[in-house]
A and B are shown apart, each in its own frame.
Chain A
Amino acid sequence: MRARDNPFAVHRIHALRFRLTEDGWRELLARLHALALRAAIVGPEGAGKTLLLEELGARLGSLGLAPRLLTLHRGERQPAPAARAALLAGLGGGDVVLVDGADELGSLAWSSLRRATRAAGGLVVTSHRPGLLPTVWTCGTSVELLADLVRELVGRAEAEALRPRLVALFDRHRGDLRAALRALYDLYGASPATVGPLPGA
């Protein structure tokens, strides 16, 4: 299958929305305001924390706040100086700092960033573990959630045919949906057909 036709290509994964109802969003925003917009989204690898943070940023933007995003990659113990400077330049009460992967930071870098963002109207981070800031939302995964995402990508019938494979992938990747979706990319990439259930599915 051509990469562009693969239903699990990254651009299609990125187009998926975080599964949260409007009531869920209202609850999340109410909790966030109760925590003075200083809080953490917590969850394991591949549970949608980054997606939720990005969508939260858009929601906060529509409420008149200006989100500023800092993304930290694996092993990035402190932000790059240029990225840190851009994040903090002219920071004010109308800004909300969003830090994706805050638990990658070393303790000194985290303390420094936390101090430096005091002037901001909010600081929301994602982390694999609780404790950096009060937890506002815990992301979890399930086979049902994986099946729901796959249904959106390949359609109901094909997702049903894939069901046994989804259960196995969910277990193999210990609930990491990103890893499971990557594995599905490889399965489809190896398939000569552009659509239809995979051999053995």
Chain B
Amino acid sequence: MSWLRVELDEGRASFRPGEVVRGTASWSLDAPPAAVEVRLIWFTQGKGDRDVGLVESVPAAAPGAEGGLSFAFILPDGPYSFSGTLVSLLWAVEAVALPASDAASAELVVSPSGREILLPRETPDAGAR
């Protein structure tokens, strides 16, 4: 059975902008992939179509059917992890094996407090004087 996984060092999942996200991607696939890429991304989920931002990508050189790759990404200033009722913004490190597009990811939170920012719910009289 083939597998692909991403693990963050010390199981840490909360970060502040500018900090370094370290970890390891590892895999055991049925056949050697053409390439394995580990990517630091943010993406949205919610009512609208998904937006994705690729911050940095690290390729594995000549990956075999089994292997691993350590990564260390410096987090940018933003955007911060947040959630409202219409959209959430999430961060993740994902590993993708090509061309089959087997993928795995580990989510993380990026904000000044290290916690997801929760937007207040709009109320019908919001902004009313």
In the complex, the answer to whether A185 meets B47 with C-beta atoms within 8 Å is yes
| Interfacial chain A residues near B86, Cβ < 8 Å | 3, 189
Our count of residue pairs bridging A and B at CB distance below 8 angstroms stands at 41
In the complex, the answer to whether B47 meets A2 with C-beta atoms within 8 Å is no
State how many residues of chain A have any CB contact under 8 Å with chain B. 13
In the complex, the answer to whether A9 meets B85 with C-beta atoms within 8 Å is no
In the complex, the answer to whether B50 meets A3 with C-beta atoms within 8 Å is no
| Interfacial chain B residues near A182, Cβ < 8 Å | 47
Bound complex: CA of A6 vs CA of B86, how far in Å? 9
Give which listed residue, B45, B83, B84, contacts A11 with CB less than 8 A.
Answer: B45
In the complex, the answer to whether A4 meets B85 with C-beta atoms within 8 Å is no
The answer, yes or no, to whether A56 is at the interface (CB within 8 Å) is: no
**Residue from the set A1, A4, A6, A182 with the largest chain B CB neighbour count within 10 Å:** A4
Bound complex: CA of A1 vs CA of B126, how far in Å? 18
Bound complex: CA of A40 vs CA of B48, how far in Å? 28
| Interfacial chain A residues near B47, Cβ < 8 Å | 3, 6, 9-10, 182, 185-186, 189
The answer, yes or no, to whether A190 is at the interface (CB within 8 Å) is: yes
| Interfacial chain A residues near B83, Cβ < 8 Å | 2-4
Bound complex: CA of A189 vs CA of B50, how far in Å? 17
Against A, the Cβ 8 Å flags (1 = close, 0 = not) of B47-65 are: 1111000000000000000
User: Given A2-B83, A4-B83, A10–B88 Cβ distance below 8 Å?
Assistant: no
The answer, yes or no, to whether B98 is at the interface (CB within 8 Å) is: no
Bound complex: CA of A32 vs CA of B84, how far in Å? 45
Bound complex: CA of A4 vs CA of B87, how far in Å? 7
B-to-A contact residues, CB < 8 Å: 45-50, 83-88, 90, 118
A-B contact pairs, 14 of them (CB 8 A): A2-B83, A2-B118, A3-B47, A3-B84, A3-B87, A3-B88, A9-B46, A10-B46, A10-B48, A10-B49, A10-B50, A11-B45, A11-B50, A185-B47
